[in-house]
Amino acid sequence: MFESIEHLGIAVSNPEKAKITFEKLLGIKMTKSETVASEKVETHFFQIGNSQIELLESLSPDGVISKYIEKKGQGMHHLALKTNNLLEEISRLKELGFEFISEIPKKGADNKLIVFIHPKFTEGVLVELCQEIA
């Protein structure tokens, strides 16, 4: 099962402006940034208790975040749920009829293995499942 909401991912077109906005809103400084080259994205995290807000900046016009912003505009991109057994969750959810964009976990930001459930199976919300890499 899931332990917590790990983070909310927000696609942004102006990361510097977004960082300032969220620092003001949350009253805290950004925790860290990290490049995920395979996804052509730069991530910027704000830690709030046991959860995080992740700002997603595209590093390329053909990157997934750039395409998302072009199609839907800035805003909520995904909800990430933390589990301690990613493979078990994938299997459980497949048995319940959920389909994944890819069922093979890959390395994401923040030392996590990740997979995404296709949004047509989650009421239009892109859901990321993630597990800490040991």
How far is residue 63 CA from its own chain's centroid?
14
Delineate the domains of the chain, giving CATH numbers in brackets.
Answer: 2-132 (3.10.180.10)
How far is residue 95 CA from its own chain's centroid?
24
Q: How confident is the model at residue 134 (pLDDT cuts 50, 70, 90)?
A: confident
The candidate with the shortest Cα–Cα distance to 78, out of 19, 119, 111, 36, is 119
Q: Which residues contact 61 (CB under 8 A, 6 or more apart)?
A: none
> DSSP per residue over 46-100, as a string?
EEETTEEEEEEEESSTTSHHHHHHHHH-SEEEEEEEEES-HHHHHHHHHHTT--E
% of the chain surpassing 90 pLDDT: 99
Instruction: For residue range 27-53, list pLDDT tens digits in order.
Output: 999 999 999 999 999 999 999 999 999
pTM of the predicted model as reported, rounded to 2 decimal places:
0.91
